[in-house]
Structure 1
Amino acid sequence: MSIDLSSIPDALAADPGLAASVSGSDLAQGLAAATTLSNLLAQTLDGLGANADGLISVTDIQAVSATIQADPGLFAQFQLAHGDDASWAETGFHLLQGDGGSLTFKGRNFVDTVADGMFHFGFATVGGKFLNEDGALSRTVEKVAAWVNYFVNGVVAFQGTAQDDRLESGAYSAVFTGAEHELWLMGAGNDRVSAGIGNDTIHGGMGSDALLGDGGNDSIMGEAGADLLQGGAGADSLYGGADADRVLGGEGADLLSGGDGADFLRGGTGADSLYGGAGADRLLGEEGADLFEGGAGADRFVLTETVQACDVIVLRSGDSGATAMTADLVQGFVSGIDKIDLTDLGPISFETGGFSASGASAHYDGLALRIDTTGDGTCDMMIRFQGLATLSASDLLLV
């Protein structure tokens, strides 16, 4: 088998609660049943060619259920190992389930919820949930796929539905190495994800989503829809995608990218990099020495911090217009500390009183930094400033 799920019974064997509360004979029989179930699940996944793309998907788990259901021999093997607790006579895996397991997986009891949920793979599904041995609805297929993916690929991979999903992470026992670094693949709908601790990756998909990284160095992609992205603690990378997004860095040295649409970016504490992208964006740096790049559109840069640091605004060709209506606006710029980076525009001289007659130049008139990039004596682009009396050549980064 190319897929190995022996780590599931290994984790069960390492559960201190089971060791303390289950007799030696029952523990051995329960672990043997768990091994049989794990091998059967791995064998069926392999036979289906699952995990070719490195992900155990909802479709893969549904196909496993259908395969077991369609083969009387496989179903009998599954049913015997899964066991039951009818009339208080426990058999199969039920010798362990509900008997004192203490390990935690995503904030849930590993034995009673997660392992038991995965070991429903051979029962039928109704409305996206597995039936149990009594015919009652049990765990969702999405959760089972996420849990199985960890034991196959080393990452808990949550897959959203077309509905408005509300998902959050939880604590993991130390035996589940790296499980806190989760993958969230959301679908259509207006979803909310709270990823918890760990270095998580979140894809919002379609819809207006609220995606919260919480602790760790997270990568969050809003994708389609007007999304809220919040990094939290750690050095996060946040990408708004299409539409008007709110991108909030939080603590740490974050990278924020608005993408398309009129976005709001707030760096928070730390030395952040803020890229507005297309659209009329608002970029707020807050604490730390931040780097700003507005991109296309009439953007607003707000440089506010209680402890002054050197913020840098990068201006590239086409980033700002030549009129008050189309130009970028900068608030909170401190001459002598903050910088405007014009190096991407090529050689430009800084003049006082007007443009140079002998090449590309820039001058400040008390309201705007006007830039002639072609040397023909006319303004090609400008940046407006609010509350800035003077601007000198030392405030600019020039070629």
Structure 2
Amino acid sequence: MFDSHDFFKKRLSAHFKELSRYTRYILNEHIAFAMFFFVAAMAYYYQQWLKDLPENFPVALIAGVVFGLLVSYSPVRTLLQEPDLVFLIPAETKMDAYFRDAIISSFVVQLYVLLLAGGALGPLYFAAYPDRAGNIYILILAVVLIFKLWNLFTNWWMLKIREPGIRQVDLLARTLLNMAVFYFLVKGEMLLAGITTILFVFVFLYDLMVSRKQTGVLWDLLLEKDQHRMHTFYRMANMFADVPHLKNRVKGRHWLVSMVSRVPFVKKHTFDYLYRITFIRSSDYLGMYLRLIVIGGLFIFFIPNLWMKAIFALLFIYMSSFQMITLYHHHRTVMWLDLYPIPLKVRQQSMIKLLFQLTLLQTIVFTVLLLGMGEWFAALIVIAAGMAFNYIFQNGYVKKKIM
């Protein structure tokens, strides 16, 4: 006798084991240290900023957008696999418990993001509306949970519609209504919040009516959605560990390759060329490197304290350098590289050279940004400490790591 409830429990257990397997690599000691520092620093500056919060600051708009987006994005993780398209379709009439459990587990898993957002926006809300009682904000959070559940159901019903255009229009309409509801709630305009809630209920009931007219389950669509989300997770995990499930994507970027691949045509520069074009054409390394530069630049620009600017600059330099080490193992499954008549030491030196150049470039970018802001002393600290870190890190930690 097929028990779909028990079947889902086994799938969920296997799924969490798979996630924990790679999460250990993602949340390693280096990333954990950086995250702890970020959270502590941002919490401090957030608290200081709230003391001088402008009177006309759009708290309601920000809360409405944040809560609206979070409740609108409510995917249902069905945990389906490719063989299910063959073996589970005949048992579709017995899968009600499986899909019910999938909706419940999706709701529970996504709660932590709502709680984090609620905790982060709470101090901002009370700073903007100090005369309001705390139970009003708790009521808003309760409404957030209710809307999250409603959106989860509507997303599930829309997965019975094959036309992507209909699903996108429905999602856009619900997102705008969600934002409006929470904007009016935070603003204290309960009448308008009630009207927009009624409009959302109309959309909710309409989606229910449309889904009931559909027959069966779109197994291929459910599988596609789940595979896309897991592919996103695997791409992130691939920056820290080998992910055999992931197929690396290569992008042309011919004009960038032509700029960075100019090396002398001699054997000792073979891996200089290979690592440069791998860095440029891989779907992971270049994007991650640029994102860390941009995010680090934003921290440097907005943080007021001079010493904290320098510390954040060095922290992002450290994070980029550490993340780029995985580039050395990018081609480890390609056996043809072992046939190159080039000593292993040359390959390792090419890797260290590229990491040194990338870290130096990032140090110069942060230094130029500080100089543009008029922070001469901080710029001097970053260029001096960045150069020292670059030399010590590449010739110490990286050499031990790859040699």
Question: Which TM bucket (shorter chain)?
Answer: under 0.3
> Which entry has the higher C-alpha Rg, 1 or 2?
1
Comparing both chains, which one has the higher relative contact order based on Cα–Cα distances under 8 Å and sequence gaps of 6 or more?
A: 2
Instruction: Say which structure is richer in strand.
Output: 1
Instruction: Say which structure is richer in helix.
Output: 2
